[in-house]
Structure 1
Amino acid sequence: MSNKIRLTICCLLIGGLWFSSAKAQTSPVAVPSALNNYPWTEHELMEPALLAANIKENPAKLPLILNIGAVEDIKGAKHIGAADKTENLKALKAMVTTLPKNADIVIYCGCCPFTKCPNIRPAFQELKKMGFTHIKLLNLPVNLQTNWIAKGYPLAVN
């Protein structure tokens, strides 16, 4: 076999291995990593099914659920409003100022994928800055409609 053929085969094998490993590392699920600039970690994400189960099975021991967007309220949520607005960020601070720093808090918006949401980052960062240690971000990779409402999870009754 000639050197050109061997070299071509080698290049194809290396290219194929590189392409398959690069493809295997991608994921459709929004999972924070060291390369992303998210203020939250994977540990600080809460799956919607878990919160929905807590609402159904143990409503007396729910975390403080804060809607920091302009979407429907989840059952038991306090509506703050879009946290990218100064007055709503002030309302968020006022809502939690008397709570112990280890209070369980779940925040969500649901207007869009949370990794691109203009409301999640300022609210999460403000709670961290205030010293809260048990903050969870509801994992809504698409939006509230897709990841909560369409699954039949409970909404507030208006």
Structure 2
Amino acid sequence: MKRFFFACFLIVAGYTARSQSASPVPWTQAQLVEPSVLAAQLQLPISQRPVVIDVGPAGVISGARVAGPAGEKEGLGRLKKMLADLPREKPVIIYCGCCPFEHCPNVRPAFQTLLSMGFRNPRLLNLPRNLKADWIDRGFPLAPEE
């Protein structure tokens, strides 16, 4: 009998953990920006470019500001500081690229922060696999190495 209750507990605990880890997606399909579109926008004069912010562990896109991992308290704090003085109508594109979106610990809290701070044009760079496969391997602009 104890084994039966223990097995039921494990099933319920496993279901709860899975449902919490698959948190809802706060962006819409229309809010995704294709890499080729951002690469073209990076060729525009600086005043016409969107603000691009890296919310993950590696800042390699040309011109991107680096907040760091938004899944961590420090990175989310840096993101909020970066966003504080920006006009709310300014297009802001965030990206991580550490892993596929469904596993990424950074894009959801970062995008939710854009929404909660009232940004009217929040965007997420569409890197469904990762930064290497979806940006670097396609030859899009990289920041100069330091």
Please give the TM-score of this superposition, normalised by the length of structure 2.
0.80
In structure 2, the partner of 1:152 is 139
Per the alignment, residue 126 of structure 1 pairs with 113
In the other structure, the counterpart of 1:138 is 125
Note the alpha carbon deviations across 1:30-88, whole angstroms, 9 max, x for none. Answer: xxxxxx821000010000000011113x1422111000001242001001100011111
Q: Does 1:90 align with 2:89?
A: no
Percent identity of equivalent pairs: 47
Q: Which runs of 4+ in 1 moved over 2 A?
A: none
The structure with the larger Rg is 1
* Partner-residue secondary structure (3-state), 2:102: coil
Looking at structure 1, the residues matched to 45 and 52 of structure 2 have their Cα atoms a distance apart, in angstroms, of 12
Q: Structure 1: give runs of 5+ residues left out of the alignment.
A: 1-35
Looking at structure 1, the residues matched to 102 and 61 of structure 2 have their Cα atoms a distance apart, in angstroms, of: 20
Superposition map of 1:20-59 within 5 A: 37-56=24-43, 58-59=44-45
Report the AA paired with residue 126 of structure 1: T
Aligned residues: 122
C-alpha distance in 2 between matches for 1:150 and 1:75: 15
1:79 aligns with 2:66: yes
Q: Could you say what the CA RMSD is over the residues aligned between the two structures, in angstroms?
A: 1.2
Q: Secondary structure of 1:115's match?
A: helix
Match of 2:50 among 42, 59, 63: 63
- Aligned partner of 1:39: which letter? P
